């Protein structure tokens, strides 16, 4: 008998505009795949210029009232947002694992790192204080003010669906800006859930918006005259494109590209600890992070002989569906199998 074909429900991921899900006008769609199983779990719209403009206009319309909201009131919303993210951290971790593929342990850790930025943004009434200096010249005082820019945008990568967006928009919004987030089209669900929680925290309509898409959506944000600042994390070639295009259109741009990391093992190193660190860094987060080690520099004969032998045992590391190996932290799993003696 033929095995029955297992059916999977494929959902459609919307945009998030004016504090509610919104349909895209673009007819182009992308697949969302669970990398551990290869199963297509969702479809995501690849926004066009008109879709991006709709989100930007919503953010632009919300800016005057949000800018005039006292920083203390903004901070209260951040406090509530922090509570909601903390309460839903397991749910967020599961969304990350399902679309990115890292283990639940890794995913939960990345949610925590993002949560810490929200905690930082809660202190915005103090952080945005200006400065004042008397008599910088005869009869001249000097003071500075920190004021919001307007609509800001973030373009974020697939490897940290919660942490990297949370680096960007909580601080920008706490400062009185409005925001349009363009997450990776490979991992859109986490951003949508974070948007829902922000609404639940009391964020007004239009202050935070999410558009989906690929290069067309990115270029629409980079070239839009109402977007005042852009933040980007991703590969170096795209970072260069974002910086050059955004700057050419008069925007403030920060663009963080890829990294190359080396691990140096010195002759007097604790080899068990060094090997655990090496394996964890190379393969943690599925090896898809800018802190991943791609080169190990082994100093001295003892280290040069012992470390490769121990690393060869990395085949014992559990590889599979992220949820299934959630209870086995990568490095702890390694320690159970390997002890390198000095």
Catalytic sites, residue numbers: 290
List strand residue ranges (DSSP E) for 86-217, in order. 131-137, 140-144, 151-155, 178-182, 208-210
The 3-class SS string of 229-279 reads: EEEEECCHHHHHHHHHHHHHCCCEEEEECCCCEEEEECCCCCHHHHHHHHH
Cα 166–chain centre separation = 6
> Judging by beta carbons within 10 Å of its beta carbon (0-12, 13-18, 19+), is residue 257 exposed, middle or buried?
middle
Q: From CA 206, how far away is CA 203, in angstroms rounded?
A: 9
**Between the CA of residue 166 and those of 116, 180, 251, what are the distances in Å?**
9, 13, 21
């Amino acid at each position: 008998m033929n095995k029955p074909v297992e059916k999977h429900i494929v959902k459609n991921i919307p945009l998030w505009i004016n504090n509610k899900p919104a349909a895209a006008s673009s007819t182009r769609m992308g697949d969302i795949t669970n990398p551990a199983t290869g199963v297509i779990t969702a479809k995501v719209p690849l926004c066009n210029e008109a879709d991006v403009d709709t989100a930007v206009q919503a953010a632009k319309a919300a800016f005057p009232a949000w800018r005039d909201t006292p920083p203390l009131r903004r901070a209260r919303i951040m406090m509530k947002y922090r509570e909601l993210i903390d309460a839903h951290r397991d749910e967020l971790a599961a969304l990350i694992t399902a679309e990115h593929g890292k283990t639940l342990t890794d995913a939960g850790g990345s949610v925590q790192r993002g949560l810490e930025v929200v905690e930082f943004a809660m202190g915005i009434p103090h952080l945005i204080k200006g400065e004042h200096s008397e008599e910088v010249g005869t009869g001249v005082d000097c003071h500075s003010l920190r004021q919001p820019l307007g609509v800001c945008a973030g373009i974020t990568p697939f490897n940290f669906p919660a942490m990297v967006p949370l680096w960007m928009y909580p601080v920008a919004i706490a400062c009185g800006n409005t925001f349009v987030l363009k997450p990776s089209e490979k991992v859109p669900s986490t951003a949508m859930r974070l948007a829902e929680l922000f609404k639940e925290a009391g964020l007004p309509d239009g202050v935070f918006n999410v558009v989906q898409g690929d290069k067309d959506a990115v270029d629409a944000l980079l070239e839009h005259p109402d977007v005042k600042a852009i933040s980007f994390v991703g590969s170096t070639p795209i970072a260069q494109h974002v910086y050059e295009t955004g700057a050419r259109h008069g925007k403030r741009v920060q663009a963080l590209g890829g990294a190359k990391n080396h691990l140096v093992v010195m002759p007097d190193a604790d080899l068990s600890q060094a090997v655990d660190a090496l394996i964890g860094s190379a393969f943690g987060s599925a090896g898809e992070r800018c802190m991943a080690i791609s080169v190990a520099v082994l100093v001295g004969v003892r280290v040069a002989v012992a470390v490769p032998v121990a690393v060869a045992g990395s085949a014992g590391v559990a590889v599979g569906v992220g949820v299934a190996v959630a209870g086995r932290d990568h490095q702890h799993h390694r320690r159970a199998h390997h002890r390198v003696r000095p």
